[in-house]
Amino acid sequence: MRIAINMLRSRLDQRRTLAEAAAVAKLAPDTFSRLFRAETGRTFRAYCVAARIERARELLTETALNVTEVAQALGYNDYRLFARQFEQHNQGCPPSRWRGSNPG
């Protein structure tokens, strides 16, 4: 399981599938999904989104990348999806306001 989690976190710009992560863990997708949720407390998809948003907060705080560049660096082709997910994980705070309220 740790190998699959490390794979996900090492390449947040790539959208990994449950099947890919299960293959890395050498488990059937259904088994992997159940064990993943038991270990992380989140579904595979929710974990992937949360990991991207966590990294987005870091990039917005620690770099000069603009919000669109942060979204692209994390594999988002749709800025609106990035902004919506960011707000959902940050109490309604959009990425542009996060940067202003959390200077690096």
| CATH number where 95 lies | 1.10.10.60
Residue 54 domain boundaries: 2-101
pLDDT values of the chain reduced to their tens digit, one per residue, 104 residues: 899 999 999 999 999 999 999 999 999 999 999 999 999 999 999 999 999 999 999 999 999 999 999 999 999 999 999 999 999 999 999 999 987 666 44
Six token digits for residue 39: 């270990």
- Total domain count for the chain? 1
DSSP string, 6-66: HHHHHTTTS---HHHHHHHHTS-HHHHHHHHHHHHSS-HHHHHHHHHHHHHHHHHHHS---
Note the pLDDT of residue 99: 78
Note the pLDDT of residue 68: 95
Note the pLDDT of residue 49: 96
CA 71 – CA 95 distance, rounded (Å):
10
Residue 83 DSSP one-character state: H
Note the pLDDT of residue 100: 66
Nearest of 39, 60, 51 to residue 85 by alpha carbon: 51
